[in-house]
Structure 1
Amino acid sequence: MTDWLQIHRGDAPLVVSFPHTGTDLPTGIAARLISPWLARKDADWWIERLYDFAPSLGATTIRTGISRTVIDVNRDPSGASLYPGQATTGLCPTSTFDGEPLYRRREPDEAEIAQRRADYFDPYHAALQAELDRLRAIHGRVVLYEAHSIRSAIPRLFDDLLPNFNIGTNSGASCDPDLTAAVETACGASAFSRVTNGRFKGGWTTRHYGRPADGVHAIQMELACRGYMDEPPGLLTSAIWPTPYVEVRAAPMRAALTNVLNACLDFAKA
């Protein structure tokens, strides 16, 4: 553990990654932002709490405390868009998902982006690679599970409401079809809706590490927030977003996700 990177090491063939739950804003960056709330608005709220049962299954977890506004560790480090032709945010975002500007002065230039990458992106992925290598040395195959969430309705990014479970496998390239089927079955056993490789097909991490032929099977789960927390309708403000994490409210989703992670483990151990 460091002041921004937390790793829990387990021995089961499962790594759960939390790239977007961080809210930390270094002082020098925060001073240039329009508001801290706006910079944290698009965090994957409460996901680390929703999955806090994962270590009890033997999973390894890795989480960055740094806000995605500082650097998004799930974006292509080259700056290339993961979804060409569609609205998205970059390696060091300058706007929110809704298109609101984040900086009141001096957006990050190429030199600053390179420094942020060296400070945060590279160490995060070095740690993630090390955990995958460690578990691959123990097991024949390992599942990398990317844990995400997003508001259910963001017109700038997608039409209509997202399904509750948005499974991404880079159109089938990042994992074995049997893993996809197992996760779909676990989701289908719940009352929640699902889609596979819809608007979200998996971020850079899923696409980069998912190498089924080499024994690493990567899958992304993008949850619509309404499945585990209240989502206020209409314009969001700091007074109403994020809504609190409530155990009773989140319990059905936690139960479904427990089945999902167990399905990943069963696949890896088969």
Structure 2
Amino acid sequence: MQLLTHLPGSTPLVLDSPHSGTAYPENFRHACELAVLRSAEDTHVEKLYDFAPAMGVHWIEAHFPRSYLDANRNTTEMDVSMLDAPWPEPVETDPKIMSKVRLGKGLIWRTTDEGVPLYDRKLQVAEVQMRIARCWTPYHAAVAEAIDAAFRQHGYSIHINCHSMPAVASASATDFPGEEHADFVVGDRDGTTAAKPLSELVCSHLRERGYSVAYNHPYKGVELVRRHSSPDEHRHSIQLEINRKLYMDEATLEMTPGSEVLKATLRSLVEVLLKTDPRTL
């Protein structure tokens, strides 16, 4: 089973989609129904950006599902209560970082966004280590390789971490259950993963296209933008969340005609970013 796609590009722009995977491994052995589990996916996000590689944009896409292993979490964000034996690796202790783990959304998910348990068993330490080795490690290596290549060629890089979000926050998804989401959420971990003028440019462009845009709420960006950014060194990472109501039916997972309008907007954003040198902002 192919677990990720990495298409090298020639521009300073890197896009990655860590949560749109739909290839469910046989060794997952989840207890809940697949239809319930699929609500965890950023379904179709890879289709929304399918124009990007032809524009010279670096593209990385996970095929493994987010609920099997969440590549946007650090390997230390482990819920050790899920395991059949002591975890031999470091475990995060910062309460803020571990808030998602408490919600059941660590590196290995315990529950769905609605609180449905994924497993009726304890996970073996060895199988979690295998997931990290086969999924997390190569995915982060591919993102790092793409950003390094963009930086070497252009002297700077712009990394957009591509996600989608439900129209309304689920009960166990965030610290703000029931919140109605904006059309887009732009996150840079409070200005620590990208230069603020670059983030403001993204926000302004989307607002000019008629969309509602929130900045760093309720999603600030997590491990992929944290790990692979260094704005002072001209390596910028932004997490971009898209409201699913703009492009799909959340009940059936079918794409809607709105997806084409959205794709045109995303293409226009990519075109703007390809013309932007953050060093001049």
RMSD: 1.9
Aligned 8 A contact 2:32 2:116 in 1: no
Q: Shift of residue 82 of structure 1?
A: 6.2
1:209 pairs with one of 223, 228, 232: 228
1:82, 1:260 → 2: CA distance?
Answer: 32
1:124 pairs with one of 139, 145, 156: 139
Deviations 1:210-250 (A, max 9, x none): 2112221000001110112234xxxxxxxx432x123x321
2:99, 2:150 → 1: CA distance?
Answer: 37
1:24, 1:148 → 2: CA distance?
Answer: 17
2:112 pairs with one of 81, 84, 96: 96
1:28, 1:160 → 2: CA distance?
Answer: 35
Identical amino acids, percent of aligned pairs:
27
1:137, 1:96 → 2: CA distance?
Answer: 40
Task: Call closer, same or farther: CA 1:96–1:32 in 2, change over 3 Å.
Answer: closer
Residue number in structure 2 paired with 1:262: 271
Q: Shift of residue 152 of structure 1?
A: 1.1
Aligned 8 A contact 2:104 2:111 in 1: no
Deviations 1:43-81 (A, max 9, x none): 001111111111232101000100111100001211147
Aligned 8 A contact 1:42 1:150 in 2: no
Q: Shift of residue 97 of structure 1?
A: 1.0
Aligned 8 A contact 2:8 2:58 in 1: yes
Aligned 8 A contact 2:164 2:242 in 1: yes
Task: Call closer, same or farther: CA 1:58–1:265 in 2, change over 3 Å.
Answer: same
**Counterpart AA for 2:151:** R
Aligned 8 A contact 1:5 1:63 in 2: yes
Q: Shift of residue 111 of structure 1?
A: 3.4
Deviations 1:146-204 (A, max 9, x none): 01001111242324210011000000000112211210111111121101001100021
2:208, 2:60 → 1: CA distance?
Answer: 28
Residue number in structure 1 paired with 2:73: 75
**Counterpart AA for 2:72:** N
**Counterpart AA for 1:115:** M
Deviations 1:94-139 (A, max 9, x none): 2111111111x32424433222111110011111111111121101
Residue number in structure 2 paired with 1:8: 7
Q: How many residues align?
A: 257
Aligned 8 A contact 2:113 2:170 in 1: no
Residue number in structure 2 paired with 1:237: none
* Structure 2, gaps ≥5 residues long: 78-91
2:277, 2:3 → 1: CA distance?
Answer: 29
Residue number in structure 2 paired with 1:249: 258
2:203, 2:165 → 1: CA distance?
Answer: 19
Residue number in structure 1 paired with 2:83: none
Aligned 8 A contact 2:104 2:112 in 1: no
1:115 equivalent in alignment to 2:134: no
1:179 pairs with one of 178, 195, 198: 198
1:205, 1:37 → 2: CA distance?
Answer: 27
